[in-house]
Structure 1
């Protein structure tokens, strides 16, 4: 059976547990990327099975339901945060007072173009502006310094694909991970420019990433404490929670993870200040003036 780049497949040796997209084919093997989770894997072509179109549709519907549920939880959380900001900005009196917000600047580096598009779509649904760039994981440490100085972000997302391989070492050995070392190096480069964890908030990691090394390198939030797979959209939910929390308040790790699709086994971090700042009065720009 022949396979083509972009086809959706599962692995027979893993009981067809994960839906993958074929990234590349070489000789009798293929590099696979999870369709909804940030996992990269190698597989023999003989172990792959194409997924029928009818099954793909069922899987996508089920995945969409899960994503919509998390988005509804976020909307509820966002509404509560908005009401609190309005009350505090107006001292609880004038609910219609004209105040403005300074949005957080978000830089999102992703090692997968399709994941990046999905994430940007979700950022837009959440009303967040983001500078999203596709960068191969191996190139991220070389690119991050220039990008931080150019964009001057308030928050950085460093993600893509990763995987732990038992054939390469133990779980505490970062050399046994596909891309964790590149993520760690990228975090360190960013922290060399902005050392304060509240002035520059960083999320780093993907599926099964070496969580401890990422936190030690300076990430506020990272994956994956239990070395499990994380959903492609999880970094966006953490970003939104921090971006919509006032800089006067801290974001607990529990609050940051509450609306993610993976939860605390796949994600963790440290207490972090929010990024949102409000001011008043809001002055509408007069487009008719000289």
Structure 2
């Protein structure tokens, strides 16, 4: 049964999950498209019929392609604006070069990590992807930052808020937020400047305020809602392709995500896209 797609009778089949682990009658579930972790008794689960699997795959693919097209339109506008500015200032025979942005993406889900890396590559971004379980983040973060020396870091995976464990202000009521918070704090010990190391942190229903206070530039989830697996990539891409002399407008970041401002938020941050001249062709 591990790896199968299921829904829960008790929640009227609102979310599709992937079975992660089975321990007796308790089944650990990971959202198939959203970064939510949950558990349920086996009798509460319904295996998704093959016809439903195909239908939802088509619907999700359509949504993902729509977000991708929106981002490409934004990127093209930014590129054309920059090229126009350069043409006014420089001779036509001068070519520019770009410095690539290094992204460290740490993910608590192997399948999500694979999907995210594919999207980074499709968007032309250089990424170092690492699978780390959320509970192990505090023990792994220092070595990874030292090895990769990133300009942007993503710390994500799965999370969930449980009303039975406490109020929304209580970190103990969240499955993994405390691990994300500690990872952000350690990263900020390496670089306290919010514009030198840009951090996205969190997953579904994470405690947004704690992540921002710990030092994240962008985080989830202001309204404790679920976020899509690919949302962190679009946040990163917007920062990576915004010229470093410009600030990243938070609303502009969120409008191309699949979740929007209910699930994601952040603060004004400088872009990281740098160009130089002249371009020298290597032989």
TMscore range, shorter length: over 0.9
Cα deviation for residue 32 of structure 1 reads 0.2
In structure 2, the residue matched to 1:140 is 137
In structure 1, the residue matched to 2:265 is 268
- Matched-pair contact (CA < 8 Å) for 1:162–1:207: yes
**Unaligned stretches of 5+ in structure 2?**
none
In structure 2, the residue matched to 1:216 is 213
The structure 2 residue matched to 1:66, chosen from 55, 63, 73, is 63
In structure 1, the residue matched to 2:152 is 155
Cα-to-partner distance string for 1:178-207 (whole Å, 9 max, x where unaligned): 000000000000001100000000000000
For the pair 1:121 / 2:113, whether they are aligned, the reply is no
Cα gap change, 1:16/1:96 in structure 2, threshold over 3 Å: closer, same or farther?
farther
In structure 2, the residue matched to 1:164 is 161
Aligned length: 283
TM-score when scaled to structure 1?
Answer: 0.96
Cα deviation for residue 211 of structure 1 reads 0.1
Cα deviation for residue 114 of structure 1 reads 0.1
For the pair 1:48 / 2:34, whether they are aligned, the reply is no
Cα deviation for residue 150 of structure 1 reads 1.5
Structure-to-structure mapping, 1:1-290, within 5 angstroms: 4-91=1-88, 97-286=94-283
Moved over 2 A (4+): 87-97
- Distance in 1 (CA, whole Å) between partners of 2:85 and 2:108 is 40
Cα-to-partner distance string for 1:22-58 (whole Å, 9 max, x where unaligned): 0001111100000000000010100000001111000
- Distance in 2 (CA, whole Å) between partners of 1:177 and 1:274 is 32
- Distance in 1 (CA, whole Å) between partners of 2:91 and 2:75 is 21
Cα-to-partner distance string for 1:84-130 (whole Å, 9 max, x where unaligned): 22223343565674101001110000000000000000001100010
Cα deviation for residue 264 of structure 1 reads 0.1
Cα deviation for residue 255 of structure 1 reads 1.0
- Distance in 1 (CA, whole Å) between partners of 2:172 and 2:88 is 53
- Distance in 2 (CA, whole Å) between partners of 1:140 and 1:168 is 23
- Distance in 2 (CA, whole Å) between partners of 1:220 and 1:178 is 22
**Stretch moving more, 81-90 or 28-37:** 81-90
Cα gap change, 1:234/1:190 in structure 2, threshold over 3 Å: closer, same or farther?
same
- Distance in 1 (CA, whole Å) between partners of 2:144 and 2:197 is 13
- Distance in 1 (CA, whole Å) between partners of 2:145 and 2:154 is 12
- Distance in 2 (CA, whole Å) between partners of 1:147 and 1:108 is 10
**Unaligned stretches of 5+ in structure 1?**
none
- Distance in 1 (CA, whole Å) between partners of 2:228 and 2:174 is 18
TM-score when scaled to structure 2?
Answer: 0.98
- Matched-pair contact (CA < 8 Å) for 1:89–1:278: no
